[in-house]
Amino acid sequence: MSTIAAIATPAGTGGIAVIRISGPEALAVADKMCLRFAQGKKISDVAGGRTARVKILDEENAALDDGIVTVFREPASYTGEDVAEISCHGGSYVTKAVLRSALAHGAAPAGPGEFTKRAFLNGKLSLTQAEAVMNLISAGGKSSAKAALSLLEGSLSAELRKIRDQLTDTASHLSAWIDFPEEDVEEVSPDVLGAALGSAQSSVAALVADYDRGRLVSEGIDAVICGRPNVGKSTLMNLLAGCEKSIVADIPGTTRDIVEETVVIGGCTMRLSDTAGLRDTGDVVESIGVDKAKKRIGQADLILAVFEGSEQPEKADLDLIKELADKKYIAVVNKSDLGQKLSPELFEAAQATVFISAKNGDGAEELREEILKALELDEFDASAPLLAGERQLYCARRALDAITEAKAALESGMTLDAVWVCVQAAITALCELDGKNADESIIEGVFRNFCVGK
């Protein structure tokens, strides 16, 4: 295994930056590029988990910076290897020069996610926990961070182990019965077998069913604000964003392009898109904006459809209501400060109807609550085992199909061999979900999305 190095802190200027070196030669590399203040001592003399104050040398061994080296010794480190973490002053020149020095003194540049990949290969983390590291780094809200931490702490791995153990018990019982029918093996009762499969089936089905909610928590909610011109979409955007993100004017057709902002709501991140007012228009630029708005409506997790409450509905409003009939939307009836003419019965198909005044903020809290309710995130336990990412969902679905097939085989009176084959397929899919026996291309795929230095 080579020794790798990368800058672990973000690009830019900061108080300190950390350059991480991991591998069998990590301490030897640190010895070459760091002189300890304690005379006659080397980095390789430092005990695991301890630090040393050093003068950091550049690639030509000239003094570059004062810093601190933290030493971790295998296996008690993040990667499971020897690790030296050099904390230097966080200017972009110094940070890059420290990395260059590490490379000049024998380390190779780390690839994206290579530290975490080594942690996985050295058995420090399961594949789902490694994926959690990435989610925790990118978490923008409390619930997303909580879900990622719970995954990192192994809540999903523990749940998968429980289901796998249950299926393995069933499979070994089946094998004993299939392979040694004449021996004194306790007969497998279809009822007991059916109950064990049923329990595994409902556990995996619960994970699959909760995937969408988990995805919204860990990846963020995509919400689009739409409606005919001048109803107050941009005013609503600014209210939720807490800043003047979109231009507001009493001129229909003010917003033409999509304006995006990320906000945190109930601990979840929500990417909001303010869009051009929906209307037929001869203006080429505006009609491009309207097309973009329609496309966003088709892709969003949730639609905030804005209507003007103080006026009778226009054709564009009625067309939008029709268009949204089979979509998840909240009817936001705006301008409540001007009185109420619009009948709430228009919005029977909506998840909720909320009356607000985007201008003075009335109803904003209720809207936030309804957004969480519409996505079933209001009572969501982010610390429960959750699948994170399409890869995990794909494996869980395969496991679920195999268990369902095993149950069907049992119920239709097929041979126990057929049941056994399906149970094995389910175990394989669950192992792959957690990275056991996962093939190299899957592992590569997981770490490809990581940043360098993690």
Ligand X SMILES: Nc1nc2c(ncn2[C@@H]2O[C@H](COP(=O)(O)OP(=O)(O)OP(=O)(O)O)[C@@H](O)[C@H]2O)c(=O)[nH]1
**Residue 317, token pair as written in the block:** 């409003």
The reply on whether position 203 binds Mg ion by CB under 5 A is: no
CB of 277 to ligand X, least distance (A): 3
The b/e string for 261-275 (b: 16+ C-beta within 10 A; e otherwise) is bebebbbbbbbbbbb
Instruction: Enumerate binding residues for ligand X (CB under 6 A).
Output: 227, 229-235, 248-250, 252-255, 277, 334-335, 337-338, 357-359
CB of 275 to ligand X, least distance (A): 8
The whole-angstrom separation of Cα 385 and Cα 320 is 38
The whole-angstrom separation of Cα 441 and Cα 438 is 8
With CB under 5 A as the contact rule, the residue among 77, 126, 143, 234 that binds Mg ion is 234
Three-state SS for 408?
A: helix
The reply on whether position 275 binds Mg ion by CB under 5 A is: no
Site string for Mg ion, 239-258 (x = CB under 5 A): ---------------xx---
The whole-angstrom separation of Cα 79 and Cα 38 is 28
The b/e string for 143-160 (b: 16+ C-beta within 10 A; e otherwise) is bbbbbbbbbbebbbbebb
What is the DSSP annotation of 300-348? -SEEEEEEETTSPPPHHHHHHHHHTTTS-EEEEEE-GGG---S-GGGGT
Residue bearing tokens 């350059």: 19
**Residues that contact Mg ion, how many (by CB under 5 A):** 4
- Residue closer to Mg ion (CB basis): 256 or 407: 256
363-382 positions binding Mg ion, by CB under 5 A: none
- Residue closer to Mg ion (CB basis): 356 or 396: 356
CB of 287 to ligand X, least distance (A): 13
CB-CB contact of 70 with 20 (8 Å) = no
- Residue closer to ligand X (CB basis): 277 or 435: 277
**Count of Cβ atoms closer than 10 Å to residue 47 Cβ:** 8
87-146 positions binding Mg ion, by CB under 5 A: none
The reply on whether position 77 binds Mg ion by CB under 5 A is: no
CB of 220 to Mg ion, least distance (A): 23
Question: Binds 335, which of ligand X, Mg ion, none (CB < 5 to 8 A, cut-off by type)?
Answer: ligand X
CB of 337 to ligand X, least distance (A): 5
CB of 440 to ligand X, least distance (A): 50
Helix axes 127-138, 155-179, angle to 10 degrees: 160
**Count of Cβ atoms closer than 10 Å to residue 123 Cβ:** 9
Question: Binds 359, which of ligand X, Mg ion, none (CB < 5 to 8 A, cut-off by type)?
Answer: ligand X
Residue 266: closest CA among 142, 140, 138, 139? 142
CB of 230 to ligand X, least distance (A): 5
Question: Residue of minimal CB distance from ligand X?
Answer: 277
- Residue closer to Mg ion (CB basis): 155 or 255: 255
Contact residues: Mg ion, CB under 5 A: 233-234, 254-255
